[in-house]
Amino acid sequence: MVDIFSKKEGPRREDVAAKRIISENRQTIHRLADQISNGGFSRSRAAMAKAKEAPKPQGLSIHLLGGTGKAVDPEPVFKISLNGRVVIMDANSGKQLVFLGEMRRKDSQKYFALATKKNGFLSPLDDETQDRLRDLDGVILETGEIEDKFSDVMKDRLGL
């Protein structure tokens, strides 16, 4: 846009004439712009007009995730994840219920570190669970067979 300053008040005579010619020939100008742009001019104007419209609700879509919507009691299961986290999780939702600790490595030996303040965990286990699992803290797991037995002992002590 160009601002034109003149000593005369109001628009100049030439500007008024140019605006009138453009408004009288708007259809021809639009048709030529469409012809040159292969219809792109009209498509862009329609897209701009559609973008300026307020969104209109077209009815409600209600999506129930997780089945029937009834509250399902959690089904706790013991799990050692691939990244070494030892947890009790809900079998229905896959959410973690209790963090028990993690598998760590020291001098190429894999061992279990119980979730306690002593082991550097910010939110340690409750006292009752710690008492049940205290003697498993630091257990070295050399083979997959020992890890399986470790899992069985954990499940037994936690009542799973």
* SS3 of 100-141: EEEEEEECCEEEEEECCCCCCCCCCCCHHHHHHHHHHCCCEC
Distance CA 40, CA 31 (A): 11
The answer to whether residue 61 scores a pLDDT higher than 80 is no
Q: Which tokens is 53 given? A: 């419209």
| Section 98-105 average pLDDT | 89
Question: What are the φ and ψ backbone dihedral angles of 19, each rounded to 5 degrees?
Answer: -65, -40
| Section 77-91 average pLDDT | 88
Beta bridge partners of 159: none
Residue 154 lies in a domain: yes
The answer to whether residue 59 scores a pLDDT higher than 80 is no
Residue 48 lies in a domain: yes
**Residue 131: band (very low, low, confident or very high) from pLDDT cuts 50, 70, 90:** confident
In total, how many domains does the chain have? 2
- For residues 48 and 80, state if they share a domain: no
CA atoms 135, 141, 142, 144: torsion sign: positive
The answer to whether residue 56 scores a pLDDT higher than 80 is no
Length of the chain: 160
Residue 6's pLDDT is: 60
Average pLDDT, the chain: 84
- For residues 154 and 81, state if they share a domain: yes
Residue 142 lies in a domain: yes
- For residues 36 and 104, state if they share a domain: no
Lowest-pLDDT range, 23-27, 67-71, 87-91, 130-134? Answer: 67-71
Residue 118 lies in a domain: yes
- For residues 82 and 149, state if they share a domain: yes
- For residues 111 and 148, state if they share a domain: yes
Centre a 10 Å sphere on the Cβ of residue 75 and count the other Cβ atoms it contains: 12
Q: Cα dist. 121→53, 99, 115, 153 in Å?
A: 53, 10, 6, 22
Report the percentage of the chain scoring pLDDT > 90: 14
- For residues 106 and 42, state if they share a domain: no
Each residue's pLDDT tens digit, 20-42: 999 999 999 999 998 999 989 99
| Section 47-53 average pLDDT | 88
| Section 56-82 average pLDDT | 74
- For residues 82 and 46, state if they share a domain: no
**Residue 10: band (very low, low, confident or very high) from pLDDT cuts 50, 70, 90:** confident
Range of the domain at 91: 76-158
